[in-house]
């Protein structure tokens, strides 16, 4: 409490201070006292009649609005708290929504999700909801999905977005529905779904594109192109991903979507890495850093580090790949970006495995497997990570490789149409067979891996398999 006390109030404050209930916190610019213990504050608060408490909370909020009319965004969390306690539902919703948007603009994603959830909880449901309340609900649900996508499981995110679509259709708001379909498409693609085998993913992408065109929104169209690139990339169709993303980056920049442009530029770099064009891969990841810095989003540099780690990994520099991936993993932990953390740990594990550091690889794959399960990645992605963990443990002298698990994983890859995962599984099984002294059985696996990589245009992977085939031929000839 702060004030310049009258003589009577000053005497009462002195008594409270002498009794050890409050303490002087500051004397300038105003006298400020605080309760010595939260329990004392709670007891004092509960002693006030509920009706009086409500009135006092509303008065505090209105006083703050009168004193600081130009600081509504900064004060939104405090104003929302007082209007909530004052049971002023309309203004509580208004300032919870404002607080959610302000937190999102500061990249405080957990805070944004919390405020948005509280706003939605206060809104009416069913026929009692008004048009404006429905719009607020849809916006807050969308904000939860967008801000929480880094740390909320896939099914929960999709459920939020399906509710946004329902509200968007009721409001006849094509842009709102388009954004929801875009987020569903991205979430499903990032979890490992293939748009050629997943009807929900294909539908989301098509609806997003149609609605973006109907809304005539340049930024939505740019986002739709980027999402289609992500779908091609997830399917291992690198040439198609490159074509989409090279169109998307300038369109996103023009639309002012700098974080989206940064993330897409980094992904474009990884696609060029997979096809073996290292100079273009590095150039695009450098562009991702540049755009990310301009965006101010802490996830942007994290995404760029992750992209560079993938580029360095597929082109053969394990030490540099581990350096970038470790940096990305540390940053992901700080901002609770579980999806990026999963990929970063997987990159670390793969590179340690190639360097012969099996114990270090096992630690990374354990973390990656746990995160893949939490994020609800597709079974083939989880099984692939578990197999890499099994390999790392076996090379560390803990357990053995269960080769029968490869058949199950390969069947899952074929079931979901994941040709890149299928090729990687054949390659990994060949390496495990070599380690187990079954080198004679590796030829067919390597041939299948090489053929799949060639079909995908994954030149860097294809070159790696050819080098292994050559070494095996030389060893057999010797």
Cα–Cα distance measured from residue 365 to residue 388, given in angstroms and rounded to the nearest whole number: 7
pLDDT digits 0-9 by tens, 78-95? 999 989 988 999 999 999
**9-to-2, 4, 15, 147, 395 alpha-carbon distances in Å:** 12, 9, 10, 47, 76
**pLDDT, mean of residues 168-188:** 92
**In this structure, are 429 and 354 located in the same domain?**
no
Cα–Cα distance measured from residue 110 to residue 118, given in angstroms and rounded to the nearest whole number: 13
**In this structure, are 410 and 437 located in the same domain?**
yes
Helix (H) or strand (E) holding 22: strand 22-26
Tell whether 288 is covered by a domain.
no
Kindly give, in sequence order, each residue whose CB lies less than 8 Å from that of residue 187, ignoring residues fewer than 6 positions away. Answer: 149, 154, 157, 158, 161
pLDDT higher than 80, residue 40: no
Lowest mean pLDDT: which of 281-285, 403-407, 409-413, 434-438? 434-438
**In this structure, are 137 and 58 located in the same domain?**
yes
Residue 131 or residue 13, greater confidence: 131
* Residue 1 pLDDT class (50, 70, 90 cuts): very low
**In this structure, are 91 and 31 located in the same domain?**
no
HSE-CB of 71 using CA atoms within 13 angstroms: 13
Q: Which domain holds residue 81?
A: 48-122+133-141
Lowest mean pLDDT: which of 16-30, 110-124, 153-167, 395-409? 16-30
Q: DSSP alpha helices (H): ranges in 123-194?
A: 131-148, 154-171, 174-190
pLDDT on residue 89: 93
Cα–Cα distance measured from residue 408 to residue 402, given in angstroms and rounded to the nearest whole number: 11
pLDDT on residue 5: 47
pLDDT higher than 50, residue 28: yes
Tell whether 155 is covered by a domain.
no
**Averaged pLDDT of the chain:** 88
**In this structure, are 409 and 428 located in the same domain?**
yes
HSE-CB of 135 using CA atoms within 13 angstroms: 9
Domains held by the chain: number: 4
pLDDT on residue 2: 46
Return the SS3 of 190: helix
* Residue 18 pLDDT class (50, 70, 90 cuts): low
Tell whether 306 is covered by a domain.
no
Q: Which two tokens stand for residue 366?
A: 């354990």
DSSP state of 30: S
Among 366, 370, 410, smallest CA distance to 389 is for 366
* Residue 11 pLDDT class (50, 70, 90 cuts): low
The model's pTM is 0.80
pLDDT digits 0-9 by tens, 62-75? 988 998 889 999 99
pLDDT on residue 3: 47
Tell whether 188 is covered by a domain.
no
pLDDT digits 0-9 by tens, 267-294? 999 999 999 999 999 999 999 999 999 9
Cα–Cα distance measured from residue 114 to residue 174, given in angstroms and rounded to the nearest whole number: 27
pLDDT higher than 50, residue 362: yes
Tell whether 236 is covered by a domain.
no
Tell whether 137 is covered by a domain.
yes
State the DSSP string of 86-100.
TT-HHHHHHHHHHHH
**In this structure, are 413 and 355 located in the same domain?**
no
List the end-to-end C-alpha distance of the chain, in Å, as a whole number: 86
Return the SS3 of 23: strand
Among 177, 170, 189, smallest CA distance to 142 is for 177
The percent of residues in the chain predicted with pLDDT above 70, rounded, is: 90
Tell whether 322 is covered by a domain.
yes
Among 166, 157, 161, smallest CA distance to 126 is for 166
Tell whether 25 is covered by a domain.
yes
């Amino acid at each position: 409490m702060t004030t310049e006390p009258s003589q009577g109030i000053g005497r009462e404050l002195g008594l409270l201070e002498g009794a050890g209930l409050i303490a002087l916190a500051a004397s300038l610019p105003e006298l400020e006292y605080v309760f010595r213990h939260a329990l004392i504050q709670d007891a004092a608060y509960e002693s006030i009649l509920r009706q009086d408490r409500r009135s006092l909370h509303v008065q505090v909020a209105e006083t703050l609005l009168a004193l600081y009319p130009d600081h509504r965004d900064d004060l939104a969390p405090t104003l929302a708290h007082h209007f909530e306690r004052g049971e002023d539902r309309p203004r509580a919703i208004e300032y919870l929504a404002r607080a959610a948007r302000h937190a999102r603009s500061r990249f405080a994603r957990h805070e944004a999700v919390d405020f948005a959830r509280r706003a939605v909880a206060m809104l009416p449901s069913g026929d009692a909801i008004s048009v404006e309340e429905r719009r607020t609900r849809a916006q807050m649900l969308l904000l939860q999905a967008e801000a929480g996508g880094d740390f909320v499981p896939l099914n929960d995110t999709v459920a939020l977005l399906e509710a946004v679509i329902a509200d968007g259709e009721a409001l006849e708001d094509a842009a709102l529905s388009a954004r929801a379909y875009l987020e569903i498409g991205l979430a499903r693609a990032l979890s490992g779904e293939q748009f050629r085998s997943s009807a929900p993913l294909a539908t989301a992408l098509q609806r997003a594109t149609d609605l973006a065109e109907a809304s005539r929104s340049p930024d939505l169209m740019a986002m739709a192109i980027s999402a289609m690139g992500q779908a091609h990339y997830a399917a291992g169709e690198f040439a198609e991903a490159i074509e989409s993303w090279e169109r998307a980056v300038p369109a996103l920049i023009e639309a002012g979507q700098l974080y989206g442009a940064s993330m897409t530029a980094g992904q474009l770099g990884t696609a060029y890495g997979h096809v073996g064009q290292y100079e273009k891969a590095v150039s695009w990841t450098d562009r991702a850093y540049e755009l990310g810095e301009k965006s101010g989003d802490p996830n942007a540099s994290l995404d760029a580090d992750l992209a560079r780690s993938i580029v360095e990994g597929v082109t053969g520099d394990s030490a540099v790949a581990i350096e970038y991936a470790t940096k990305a993993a540390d940053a992901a932990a700080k901002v609770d970006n579980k999806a990026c953390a999963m990929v970063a740990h997987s990159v670390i594990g793969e590179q340690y495995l190639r360097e012969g550091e099996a114990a270090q690889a096992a630690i990374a794959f354990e973390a990656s497997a746990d995160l893949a399960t939490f994020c609800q990645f597709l079974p083939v992605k989880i099984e692939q990570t578990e197999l890499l963990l099994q390999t790392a443990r076996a090379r560390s002298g803990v357990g053995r490789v269960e080769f029968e698990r490869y058949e199950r994983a390969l069947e899952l890859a074929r079931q979901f149409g994941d040709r890149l995962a299928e090729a990687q599984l054949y390659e990994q099984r060949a390496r495990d067979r070599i380690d187990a002294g079954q080198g004679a059985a590796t030829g067919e696996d390597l041939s299948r891996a090489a053929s799949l990589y060639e079909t995908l245009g994954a030149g860097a992977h294809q070159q790696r398999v050819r080098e292994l085939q050559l070494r095996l031929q030389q060893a057999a000839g010797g």
